[in-house]
């Protein structure tokens, strides 16, 4: 089996002392301030002079801010997380310029996850203990699983979520090896009633984490509390804990599913779903977001790359549900409410299983014929329409 070295993150819960928590919270605030000021400066430079500000120029701005008496506190925390925030901003702009993401947004103090990234020069790793810059004692980390033998962190990210939980994520260079070769291939049809349906006929139930954890109930209780009251703060923390529990359970279920698919099959075929467009349907948006199809595809992509498997992504406009997987006949229409249908050739189809089999057939055709697995960009419309 061939092996390769990849960067892999290992995430753990941690419990900083009161002094460490105060230092980390100060660092989070400074990181957010530097990011927002740099974003404001770069936006102003473009709107005023149509000039792009580079990372080097942003770094020079940071040096000037530290000399300003009003921002002297920036020099009291480790400089590495501040520089890393500028690098993250630079990466966000690169993604925007290459049309992979929207324009960078300002970071909020109350929304999102507060975090700070430390590179190798800003932490000490000794005898399995992690000590960050500006700290004298190592962090209290709960080692739910060991780091790979012989590996040391190349960067460390400490974060605190809205539920008040502290985490430390360690990025290490570790070797991964191909799974043993198998002769199985599978087509995967993503859905809502069932999370995925396989071309083998197997259906994996959708856990529906939001409904299971009664997120809507917690949100309604929060909405009824008076703004600024202690009861509202307690209700807010309860909603945050529910969100955190949903996130953990969803990620765990997707990891188990995608790892099984990659381990058991040499080739995995999926559809190129336009999730961003699909969530515009207000009746299905919450269910689609809860299923997290985009995260599942991302997991399949990197796991197939790690373990020597093939991931084939077929055209999103392929009529996988309306075509008969037995004779190839194509129906003119097939309403979403129709879950079973009979083809003139006599074949009786389960809608989802038939779609998964058609996805597999299209993926095998792509592999054999070298056709494009991803859809071609549609030509721009003529005339004045938008």
pLDDT digits (tens, 9 = 90+) for 325-356: 888 888 888 888 888 888 888 888 888 999 89
Distance CA 78, CA 58 (A): 17
Q: First and final CA of the chain: distance in angstroms?
A: 52
pLDDT digits (tens, 9 = 90+) for 186-217: 999 998 889 999 999 999 999 888 888 888 89
Q: Domain span at residue 118? A: 3-177
Cβ neighbours of residue 152 closer than 8 Å, sequence gap 6 or more: 125, 172
Pair of tokens at residue 334: 């097939």
- Are 140 and 276 part of one and the same domain? no
- Whether 383 has a pLDDT exceeding 90, the answer reads no
Confidence at residue 224, expressed as pLDDT on a 0 to 100 scale = 94
- Are 144 and 48 part of one and the same domain? yes
- Are 118 and 164 part of one and the same domain? yes
- Are 306 and 242 part of one and the same domain? yes
Domain boundary among 177, 207, 234: 177
Confidence at residue 370, expressed as pLDDT on a 0 to 100 scale = 59
- Are 224 and 313 part of one and the same domain? yes
- Are 196 and 173 part of one and the same domain? no
Confidence at residue 381, expressed as pLDDT on a 0 to 100 scale = 35
In a domain, 382, yes or no: no
- Whether 373 has a pLDDT exceeding 50, the answer reads no
Average pLDDT estimate for 147-172: 93
- Are 115 and 171 part of one and the same domain? yes
Percent helix, strand and coil across the chain, each to the nearest 5: 45, 20, 35
Could you give the number of structural domains in the chain?
2
Confidence at residue 374, expressed as pLDDT on a 0 to 100 scale = 43
Confidence at residue 371, expressed as pLDDT on a 0 to 100 scale = 53
More confident residue, 60 or 328: 60
Pair of tokens at residue 191: 């859905």
In a domain, 237, yes or no: yes
- Are 71 and 122 part of one and the same domain? yes
In a domain, 107, yes or no: yes
Q: Are the beta carbons of 318 and 333 closer than 8 angstroms?
A: no
- Whether 376 has a pLDDT exceeding 80, the answer reads no
Catalytic residue among 23, 117, 189, 290: 189
Query: Is this model's pTM higher than 0.85 or not?
Result: no
In a domain, 250, yes or no: yes
- Are 84 and 227 part of one and the same domain? no
More confident residue, 258 or 336: 258
Q: Strand runs (DSSP E) across the chain, as ranges?
A: 3-14, 114-119, 123-126, 129-132, 141-142, 155-160, 166-177, 185-190, 194-198, 203-205, 267-271, 310-314, 340-342, 348-350
In a domain, 9, yes or no: yes
- Are 22 and 169 part of one and the same domain? yes
Catalytic residue among 68, 271, 315, 340: 271
Q: What percent of the chain has pLDDT over 70?
A: 95
- Whether 306 has a pLDDT exceeding 50, the answer reads yes
- Are 159 and 236 part of one and the same domain? no
- Whether 252 has a pLDDT exceeding 90, the answer reads yes
Confidence at residue 4, expressed as pLDDT on a 0 to 100 scale = 84
Nearest to 32 by CA among 96, 97, 117: 117
Grouping H, G, I as helix, E, B as strand and the rest as coil, residue 5 is strand
In a domain, 383, yes or no: no
- Are 158 and 273 part of one and the same domain? no
- Whether 155 has a pLDDT exceeding 80, the answer reads yes
| pLDDT tier at 382, thresholds 50, 70, 90 | very low
In a domain, 243, yes or no: yes
pLDDT digits (tens, 9 = 90+) for 66-115: 999 999 999 999 999 999 999 999 999 999 999 989 999 999 988 778 99
- Whether 172 has a pLDDT exceeding 70, the answer reads yes
In a domain, 379, yes or no: no
Instruction: Reply yes or no on whether 352 is catalytic.
Output: yes
Average pLDDT estimate for 110-129: 91
Catalytic residue among 23, 117, 290, 352: 352
């Amino acid at each position: 089996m061939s092996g390769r070295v990849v960067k892999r993150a290992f995430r753990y819960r941690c419990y900083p002392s009161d002094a460490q928590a105060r230092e980390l919270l100060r660092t989070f605030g400074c990181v957010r301030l530097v990011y927002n000021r740099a974003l404001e400066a770069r936006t102003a430079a473009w709107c005023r002079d149509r000039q792009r500000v580079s990372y080097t120029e942003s770094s020079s701005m940071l040096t000037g801010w530290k000399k300003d008496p009003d921002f002297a506190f920036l020099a009291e925390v480790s400089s590495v997380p501040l520089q890393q925030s500028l690098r993250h901003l630079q990466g966000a702009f690169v993604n925007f310029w290459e049309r992979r993401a929207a324009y960078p947004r300002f970071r909020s103090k109350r929304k999102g996850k507060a975090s700070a990234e430390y590179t190798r020069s800003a932490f000490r790793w000794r005898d399995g203990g992690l000590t960050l810059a500006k700290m004298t004692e190592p962090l209290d980390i709960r080692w739910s699983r060991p780091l790979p033998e012989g590996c040391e962190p190349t960067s460390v990210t400490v974060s605190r979520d809205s539920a008040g939980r502290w985490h430390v994520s360690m990025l290490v260079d570790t070797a991964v090896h191909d799974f043993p070769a198998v002769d199985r291939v599978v087509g995967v049809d993503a859905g809502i009633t069932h999370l995925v349906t396989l071309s083998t006929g197997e259906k994996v139930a959708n856990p529906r984490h939001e409904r299971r954890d009664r997120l809507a109930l917690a949100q309604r209780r929060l909405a009824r509390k008076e703004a600024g009251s202690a009861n509202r703060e307690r209700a807010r923390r309860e909603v945050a804990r529910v969100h955190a529990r949903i996130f953990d359970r969803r990620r765990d279920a997707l990891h188990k599913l995608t790892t099984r698919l990659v381990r058991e099959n040499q080739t995995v075929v999926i559809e190129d779903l336009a999730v961003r467009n699909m969530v515009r349907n207000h009746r299905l948006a919450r269910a689609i977001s809860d299923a997290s199809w985009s995260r599942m595809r991302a997991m399949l992509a990197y796991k197939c790359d790690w373990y020597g498997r093939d991931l084939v992504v077929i055209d999103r406009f392929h009529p996988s549900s309306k075509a008969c997987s037995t004779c190839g006949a194509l129906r003119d229409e097939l309403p979403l409410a129709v879950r079973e249908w009979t083809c003139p050739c006599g074949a009786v189809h389960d809608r989802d299983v038939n779609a998964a089999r058609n996805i597999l057939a299209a993926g095998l055709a792509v592999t054999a014929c070298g056709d494009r697995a991803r859809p071609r960009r549609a030509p721009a419309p003529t005339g004045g329409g938008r």
